[in-house]
Amino acid sequence: MTQGLVRIIVNPISGRGQDPRFVRELVRHLSLRGFPVEVTTTRRPGHAHDLARDAPDQARCVVSIGGDGTHREVLSGLVGRPVPACIVPSGTENVLGRTFRLTGTLADTAALIQHGRRLSLDVGLAGDRPFVMFSGVGFDAEVTQEVHRRRRGPILRAAYYAAIMRKWWRYAFPPITVIVDGHQLADDAGVVFVANTPLYGGRLRLVPGAKGDDGLLDVVCFRGPSRWHVLAHYLRTRAGRHVGHPLVAIGRGKRIEVTCAERRLPVQVDGDVLAATPLVYTVRPRAVRLLVRPDGARLRRREGG
């Protein structure tokens, strides 16, 4: 019996996207099992979104080979559609892959396509920009912006460390106001993150209780006006001791308003700077489908960790 189409979207400048053998072996494996396969390559920002959007509703899945930015584009092209995404993590951080224990090996990818479970996942909206993991406001977005501005190929983790140090010394950390479902959470935040899932880059567990299929977004506000506050917040978060600290405010809701009276601040979503304050975040419950392991791998329930 003929299987549904598998559309493979490859970002050629990240990880396995630079290895034609991986794609070739995946195509061979799927073809031998009766799956028709199309391989497409991204050529510009936003191209992965267009390629995913054009996949037929009857497709078996869309395979995304790239980093978290590529996966965000692919999933944004599948919002509200029955076609699931199969993630092959091959970027710098691979937060989405780590969240769902997706290794990206040939054997595991083929198994996901054949036997993976379809998990419905919420989609956050930063204005009208969709994201599935996290969004950072202010300092975090400026670091991301600088890394992409200097990019000349695959992004190395060292590029983020260098940009963090440069920005940390110069950034003024203007106060950010956050309102969650009509109630003010903070008016003195130096750094703000809005999260749909628990993990962030550098293996930080920003919001341990975040759950990607509850119809809500989580927000964490690191309060304090100076770079030294931010450094202390980072060290506490690295140690998993930021939750409950008096200078850390965490909220959860369906509508999150973020403003800064001093100036417009850049906003990154899943690793790409695509918006600016003032900004309203909303959520589309269970709007995309993701292939995950059939043994029950999914986001951890809210249990404080």
The span from the CA of 139 to the CA of 119, in Å, is 32
Beta-strand ranges (E) seen in 18-150 are: 37-41, 61-66, 85-89, 117-126, 129-131, 134-138
The span from the CA of 300 to the CA of 212, in Å, is 9
Residue by residue, DSSP assigns 13-32 as TSGGGG-HHHHHHHHHHHHH
State residue 197's pLDDT score.
93
Tens of pLDDT, residues 182-213: 999 999 999 999 999 998 876 788 888 899 99
Mean pLDDT, rounded, for 94-109? 91
On the question of pLDDT at 159 being above 70, the answer is no
Counting every residue written for the chain, the total comes to 305
The span from the CA of 131 to the CA of 69, in Å, is 10
Tens of pLDDT, residues 75-100: 999 999 999 999 999 876 788 999 99
State residue 160's pLDDT score.
58
Flag the least confident range among 7-11, 40-44, 147-151, 298-302: 298-302
**Residue 224 or residue 58, greater confidence:** 58
Q: Which residue has the tokens 């919420």?
A: 122
The span from the CA of 169 to the CA of 175, in Å, is 17
Nearest 10 degrees: CA dihedral of 139, 66, 280, 236?
-40
Give the confidence band of 304 by pLDDT, cuts at 50, 70, 90.
very low
Mean pLDDT, rounded, for 271-296? 91
The span from the CA of 74 to the CA of 130, in Å, is 11
Tell me which residue of 159, 192, 158 sits closest to 175, measured CA to CA: 192
Q: Which domains are assigned to the chain?
A: 6-115 (3.40.50.10330), 129-285 (2.60.200.40)
Would strands 248-253 and 217-223 be described as parallel, antiparallel, or unpaired? antiparallel
